[in-house]
Structure formats: C-alpha cells, structure tokens
Amino acid sequence: MSDLDDFKATYFDECSELLTELEEQFAAIEEGERGADRLNAVFRAIHSIKGGAGAFGFSALVGFAHAYETLLDYVRDGRIELTDDVVHLCIRANDIVADHVNAAQTGEGLSADYGAEEKARFDALARGETAGEGENGEDMGGEIVEDFDIDFTPVMVNLDAPMAAGEAPVEDVFEAAPMTVAEGQWEIRFTPHRALYARANDPLLLFRELAALGTMSVRAIMGDVPPLSDFEPFAVYCSWEITLIAPGLSESDIREVFEFVDGDCDIVIAQAGMVPGFADLVPDIAEPAAMAAEVDAEPDLSSLLALTEEEVAAPQEPVTPPAAFAPEPKAAPAGSQDKFEEAPAISFAALADEIKPPAPAAKPEAAPVAAAKAPSSNGDSEEGGGRSVGVQSIRVDLDKVDRVVNMVGELVITQSMLTQQMDETLRARYTELVRGLEVLAQTTRGLQDSVMAIRAQPVKSVFSRMPRLVRELASKTSKKIKLETIGENTEIDKTVIEQLSDPLTHMIRNSADHGIESPEKRLAAGKPETGTIRLSAEQAGGNILIIVEDDGAGINRERVLGLARDKGIVAPDITPTDEQIDQLIFAPGFSTAEAVSDISGRGVGMDVVLSNIKKIGGSVHVRSWTGKGCRMTLRLPLTLAVLDVMLVKVGGGPYVVPLSSIVETMQCSRASFERVPSGGRVLQVRGEYVQVIDLAQRFELTSQQNPDDQFVVLCEAEGNQKVALVVDDIIGQQQVVIKSLEENFESVDGIAGGTILGDGNVALIVDVQGLRTTHLHQNAA
C-alpha cells in the first residue's frame, strides 16, 4: 500500500531526526545543562517516536518508548531526580529506542526481552518515587488502546467515509423504530454544568449521538429561564430526562456518549423504572422529530421555548442520584474530579452585556480562504498546509535532484568543449561569441554551485551516530572514552555523506581499540584516566577535512613494521620513514589486531577505509605521536560531481591531476633526478628533496617526450608531503565531471576516477596520494 509506505518513510525520516536531536540534547545534559527546555525536548522526541510507532503497530517500540516516556515524565515533574545514573540510563535507553526503530525499519525482529532490563529499572525508579503508579492502565472510557493493535493500519480510510463531512446524521437518526418497550430501555437524567458549555460541548450534540443508538425521547425540565434580555448563553437553565430504547444497548455504550462531558454534568443512567421520580415517558417520536427539524436553526432555544409554553415545568430540584447511580469515578488521581468544578479560566464578562443567540455553537461565517494559506487538498501527504512561520521548504526526491546534477555536469562538459574549440583565429574573429562563452562559463559555474548546495547536508547526520559507538566501545573494552565533536554543521554533498558512515566507524573503532589505553595505563603514563576521541569537520578550499584524533598511545611503529615485513608488504631491506610506517596501517590486508576482536578486527582493517574514501575521490592521511596520540585526516571533495583539474599528457594520452593538490609546474630534464638507495628517485626543489613518480613508467606507457624536456607537476599529498609527477606535456586547466571508475569499470591503483573531455576522449584522474602510497609498496615488492 503506497500511502502506508509513504507515511512510514516520513516516519523513519522523522525518527532519524529525532534520534539525532536526542544525541544533541543528551550531550548538553551530560555537560550539566538540565533545564526544563532540554527535558521537554527529550520528552517530545520520545513522545513523537512513540506516537508514530503506535500508528504503524510497531508494538515493541511502542512498549519500550512508553516506559521510557513515563520515566522522562517523572523526571520532568521532579518526581525522579535527574542524577548522573539516570542520565546514563536515558542515554542507554536512546540507543535501545534507536535499535527498535532500526528493527522496525528493516523488519528484523529484536529478541522479545530486548531492553527489558532497562524497562525494569524505569519501573523501579518510578516505584521508588510514586508507589504503584508505574503503568497507567486505568479505564479511559474504553477508548484507550494500551495494547496497541498490531493490525491497525493507519490508512484504512475508506473513501466513502463514515459520513461526508458536514452532513449530520440527523435525518435518519430520528426515524421511528417499532415500539416495543422491553429490556434495553434506558432512562437518563442529565444536568449540564456551566463548564460543559465553556469547553464547547453542547447537549444537542449529545442527544444527537444518543438518538443514533436507538429510539429516543427527550423532556426538558425547566428551571428559571430568564427573559431573553437577561439570558446568559453559557448559564445552565434546565436539565433533561431522556428515555432511550435500544435492545442490546449496554450502560457503557451510553456512558461513552457522555465521555467528553464526564465531570461537567450530573448524569444518572439506569434501566427503565429504576430512577426515582423519573417521568413515565412513553417515547414520543413527534418531539424528537420536531427537534430534528430545528437542528440547523437554534434548536436549544426554539425547543426550549416551545416546551416552556406547553409543559409545566417540574420543580427543579438538585439531582442527587442514589449512590447506586452515582457516576463511577474513574481511576483518576484523587482530586482530579475537583478540577472540573473549577470555573474555567475564561471571562464571560465580554458576553454579559451582549445578547447573543443562545446556541452555544453558533457558527461564525466562514471567512474566504486566503489563497496563499489554503492547503492543497490533493492528498499530498507532505503538504505542510499553510505554514505561517519559518523557512519555506519543499521535499524533493533525491532522484530528481540527481538528474539535475547530471544534466548540469553534462552542461559543464559541453561548455568546456566549446571553449576548447575556440582557437586563436576564431577568438580574434568572433569577439562577441567569446564574450558569450565567458558568460556561459560563469553561469554554468553558478548553476553548478546552486545545484550542489541543494544536495549539501550537514555532517551532523553521520556524526550523531558516533557517540553511541564510542559508548559501546568503551564498555566493551573497559576503557573510559569521551567523544568530542566539532564542526558538525559543515555541509557536504549528500552522496559523500552517505559514504562517510563506514569509514568513520572504522576509524573511531581503531582509535578506541588500538589508540586509547586502559585507564590504568593512562594513569601510569600521567594522562587523565578518560581518553578523548575528537571528531571534527571543516572546509578547506574545495575540500572537506574530517579529522579523527585521539590522545592515546599512538601507532606502535615497531609492531606495524614487523607485521608489514611478515606479510611481505614491506621488503626486508627497506627502512621506511616513520610517516611511511604510519601509512602502512591502510595497506591492503594489513590488520594489527593481534586477536581478531569483534571491535575493529572482523578480518577487515583500515584498508577498507582507504578504499571507501578513494571511491568518493578523497584521501586519507595518518599522523601519530608515540605516547601522545594519533590523527587521521580524511580529505574529501565537496562534491562528487565536478573537479577543477590540470590536463596533462602522458605517453600520448590525456590525464588529469586535481588542481587542489598542485603546488606548481615546471620543466626539467630527467638528468636532474637523483637516485636514492631504495631505488626511488628524488628531485631537488628549492633545497627540498621530493619523491619523483614517473607517470609514464608507473602506468606502463612509453613516454613520447624528449627526456631533457620533461614537465613536472609538483603536488602536495597529505601531511605536506610533496611529490613530483613526471608528465610529457601540460595542456591547461579546466573543469571536469568525475565519473566513477568502480561503477563503470573497476578500481585501479593510482587512478581516482575518469572523465570525458570536451573532445569526447576519456581522461583518467590521477590519485596523487594513492600513487605515493603504492609507490612505497612497489619499491618493496
């Protein structure tokens, strides 16, 4: 059922927002901010999750959320003190709620007793404070659904709804039924209080509903009805006696009609003949029919006046029903009944000197609808109908945005092709055309930025999943770890964000598992007992940097190198630099976990991080300080779609180097490269030795350039490490649209992706960081 699926999708979207909100609120609560605002926000979030879950019959989620919500409610009321223990219990509860939501979404069941332990603690806390008021299953007039009906489908809206709106069921309600006074004859005495009117209830509506249950006759018992000039619309001038004949009708059916006015009226309901002093009414159809005819006018007044003349009013005595007929008190907290008696906080003074039609529900004329505010009634479930404040927003399928992104990508390519086609002679001849192309280039750029901004999202959505991970890792490893997040509002393209979750999870696991030491070791090393993992995001030029830092022990280089040599990743005769050793943790098949723990082991290591990040055109760099900690930096493109590049030629074919990593370009002779003992070559640039990577050689091509006339593109890899790429020729700068190599072919070492040039040729994008790393392995091999 697509409607249901739509609602569910909306619900799960909302859940993930609410879970993120919970993480944020509790981060502040943990810091000691325990104001009412925070608690209310937390309560509302759980409340909303529960509300939707009930609608879809996710009963396990409802059950847990309900217990948790009760606890939060007590905390809000101050009945339970928000101690650190309670805060931690709540944080654990949030995780369980998240698991329940996830289980509901994926359809994977959780064990039946999942969260039972926490639930028991909620109950214990509640009991400790409020004896026996934990679960509230009191009778609520038969409308409460405590055990949520699993089969409940929220969209079983039959289009021939119970009745078309605005069409009161009056006509057929009063149809005469064959009169057989038998069992099922009820007598009701009903006296409204003033409060009943104040809450916009109306006896007429109650009678209408009663009439729908059977054959009804009503008699008004007049008190002192004042002359019209003194008539107060909300005053109580009369009570009613009703006889209702309906075989099989139970008392609770009748009580349900009066459910909303319970406490706002005196009511006696009894089998015929049981109410003392009840007028012996033979149901008379004419009377109700008369009422019916008047329904749309001012029935109360007209029937009231008609009756006044015809009937001798019975002296109005206060009705004190015998105990047997006293309204059953609900299982409500003592004193709640008194609340109804309080005069509502409404001033009738304004009405006192105005003569108004006495019908309490006189309808004001419907004002013409302001077009801007009229909600569309096309059943669009996302319609936020008449939002009056805040930023206007619409929800668009990502597919639609992706289509636009792709079109814009193609436009960029076409535009760069046109620019390429303009050689000098054409430029000189068609100045107007050149200017037009320049404007087109600008507009295209602007269009592209705008489209990318649409897909950009704060990294918060990924970051918010990490606190829980850290909590779980800390408890599994018996370490004390706190997570700090910085810059979570930094925006990245949604497609990049989706790819971030796994690598981040691995990196944080790595920090918790290998970086942060046990509390004992930390204390021994003179560090605070609690380790810190800092997760930050910032924008740096055309890139986003995501940094995972810890203040742990740093990388154990000796062990890493030993393992790398054992696994043949590094040749025995090579002594890599510290920095190169650190990078080894990303080498394929490298995992330093001595025993495969279920935390970061599982047979996969950090090489997964590297390949995931490379897949989205990013790079990873690690830096470690022994005994002080470790920093891993992810450098990600702001968007996956477009890249500013330098177009170069290698072995006769076009290659592109991302402009963001280029420091400078120069011409030089191969003779100026110097050999180092490891077999690599270096180039001296302004007193600094830079590793040389000959792209032609690296990609097994034949250079078509005179060796004395080579070009070098000096690039900066992670960690300010420079690398000199040797190319045959430099063609120029341009923008390209990145096409994934993995999706269209397969992953290739040293290549970050491909692109289609303006002339239709395919050029491969050089992966500078990857080349440095693989270069090291190659020398080792």
Partner 1 sequence: MTLRVLTVDDSRTILAMLHHTLSNAGFEVLQAEDGKQGLDMLRAETVDVVITDINMPVMDGIEFIKNVRATGQHNSLPILILTTETSQDKRDQGKAAGGTGWIVKPFDPEKLISVIHRVVH
* Residues between 333 and 352 that touch partner 1 (CB under 8 A): 333, 336, 339-340, 342, 344-347, 350-351
The answer to whether residues 409 and 401 touch, using CB atoms and an 8 Å cutoff, is: no
Q: Which two tokens stand for residue 307?
A: 């009756």
If the CB atoms of residues 135 and 183 are measured against partner 1, the closer one turns out to be 135
Q: Is residue 370 close enough to count as binding partner 1 by CB under 8 A? A: yes
Secondary structure letter of residue 692 according to DSSP: E
SS3 620: strand
Distance CA 233, CA 246 (A): 33
Q: How far is CA 567 from the centre of its chain?
A: 44
The answer to whether residues 304 and 228 touch, using CB atoms and an 8 Å cutoff, is: no
Q: Is residue 11 close enough to count as binding partner 1 by CB under 8 A? A: yes
Q: Which stretch binds partner 1 (CB under 8 A): 110-118, 133-141, 268-276, 680-688?
A: 133-141
Which member of 199, 403, 429, 675 binds partner 1 (CB under 8 A)?
199
Q: Which stretch binds partner 1 (CB under 8 A): 42-50, 470-478, 661-669, 684-692?
A: 42-50
Q: Which of residues 168-197 bind partner 1 (CB under 8 A)?
A: 168-169, 197
Which member of 204, 216, 408, 413 binds partner 1 (CB under 8 A)?
204
Q: Which stretch binds partner 1 (CB under 8 A): 355-363, 487-495, 710-718, 720-728?
A: 355-363
If the CB atoms of residues 153 and 180 are measured against partner 1, the closer one turns out to be 153
- Nearest Cα to 615, choosing from 752, 478, 731, 427? 752
Q: Is residue 363 close enough to count as binding partner 1 by CB under 8 A? A: yes
Q: Which stretch binds partner 1 (CB under 8 A): 158-166, 409-417, 499-507, 553-561?
A: 158-166
Distance CA 671, CA 675 (A): 10
Minimum CB separation of residue 344 from partner 1 in Å reads 6
The answer to whether residues 643 and 548 touch, using CB atoms and an 8 Å cutoff, is: no
Give the H/E segment covering residue 188. strand 185-192
If the CB atoms of residues 41 and 281 are measured against partner 1, the closer one turns out to be 41
CA angle 92, 137, 124 (to 5 degrees): 40
Q: Which of residues 285-324 bind partner 1 (CB under 8 A)?
A: 295-296
Secondary structure letter of residue 467 according to DSSP: H
If the CB atoms of residues 296 and 558 are measured against partner 1, the closer one turns out to be 296
Distance CA 26, CA 689 (A): 51
If the CB atoms of residues 259 and 674 are measured against partner 1, the closer one turns out to be 259
Q: Which of residues 22-41 bind partner 1 (CB under 8 A)?
A: 40-41
Q: Is residue 263 close enough to count as binding partner 1 by CB under 8 A? A: yes
If the CB atoms of residues 234 and 240 are measured against partner 1, the closer one turns out to be 234
Minimum CB separation of residue 414 from partner 1 in Å reads 40
To 10 degrees, what angle do helices 36-56 and 59-77 make?
160
Q: Is residue 155 close enough to count as binding partner 1 by CB under 8 A? A: yes
Which member of 183, 251, 328, 383 binds partner 1 (CB under 8 A)?
383
- Nearest Cα to 359, choosing from 306, 310, 285, 303? 303
Q: Is residue 754 close enough to count as binding partner 1 by CB under 8 A? A: no
Which member of 132, 137, 248, 572 binds partner 1 (CB under 8 A)?
137
Distance CA 424, CA 431 (A): 11
If the CB atoms of residues 116 and 170 are measured against partner 1, the closer one turns out to be 170
| Beta-carbon count within 10 A of 48 CB | 17
Distance CA 383, CA 10 (A): 12
Distance CA 441, CA 597 (A): 53
Q: Is residue 165 close enough to count as binding partner 1 by CB under 8 A? A: yes
Q: Look at the chain and count its residues.
A: 781
Which amino acid is residue 136, in one-letter code? N
Q: Is residue 140 close enough to count as binding partner 1 by CB under 8 A? A: yes
HSE, CB side, 13 Å, CA atoms: give it for residue 755. Answer: 32
User: From residue 735, how far is each of 411, 435, 647, 663, 666 by CA, in Å?
Assistant: 11, 19, 9, 18, 21
Q: Is residue 373 close enough to count as binding partner 1 by CB under 8 A? A: yes
Which member of 47, 255, 482, 602 binds partner 1 (CB under 8 A)?
47
Q: Is residue 10 close enough to count as binding partner 1 by CB under 8 A? A: yes
Q: Is residue 205 close enough to count as binding partner 1 by CB under 8 A? A: yes
Q: Which two tokens stand for residue 79?
A: 């009945």
Which member of 312, 366, 371, 595 binds partner 1 (CB under 8 A)?
366
Give the H/E segment covering residue 30. helix 2-30
Q: Which stretch binds partner 1 (CB under 8 A): 150-158, 320-328, 707-715, 747-755?
A: 150-158
SS3 210: helix
Q: Is residue 355 close enough to count as binding partner 1 by CB under 8 A? A: no
Q: Which stretch binds partner 1 (CB under 8 A): 166-174, 620-628, 642-650, 656-664?
A: 166-174
If the CB atoms of residues 27 and 295 are measured against partner 1, the closer one turns out to be 295
Q: Which two tokens stand for residue 626?
A: 């022994």
Q: Is residue 209 close enough to count as binding partner 1 by CB under 8 A? A: yes
Q: Is residue 540 close enough to count as binding partner 1 by CB under 8 A? A: no
Minimum CB separation of residue 38 from partner 1 in Å reads 12
The answer to whether residues 509 and 600 touch, using CB atoms and an 8 Å cutoff, is: yes
Q: Across the beta sheet with 265-271, what order do the strands follow?
A: 215-222, 238-245, 185-192, 265-271
Q: How far is CA 501 from the centre of its chain?
A: 16
Sign of CA dihedral 640, 641, 647, 652: positive
If the CB atoms of residues 13 and 438 are measured against partner 1, the closer one turns out to be 13
Which member of 1, 120, 124, 145 binds partner 1 (CB under 8 A)?
145
Q: Which of residues 51-70 bind partner 1 (CB under 8 A)?
A: 51-52, 54-57, 66
If the CB atoms of residues 3 and 129 are measured against partner 1, the closer one turns out to be 3
Which member of 131, 164, 182, 394 binds partner 1 (CB under 8 A)?
164
Q: Is residue 5 close enough to count as binding partner 1 by CB under 8 A? A: no
Which member of 388, 393, 489, 702 binds partner 1 (CB under 8 A)?
388
Beta partners for 456? 493
Sign of CA dihedral 64, 67, 70, 71: negative
Q: Which of residues 72-131 bind partner 1 (CB under 8 A)?
A: 73
CB contact burial 715-734 (16+ within 10 A = b; e otherwise) = bbbbeebbbbbbbbebbeeb
Minimum CB separation of residue 231 from partner 1 in Å reads 15
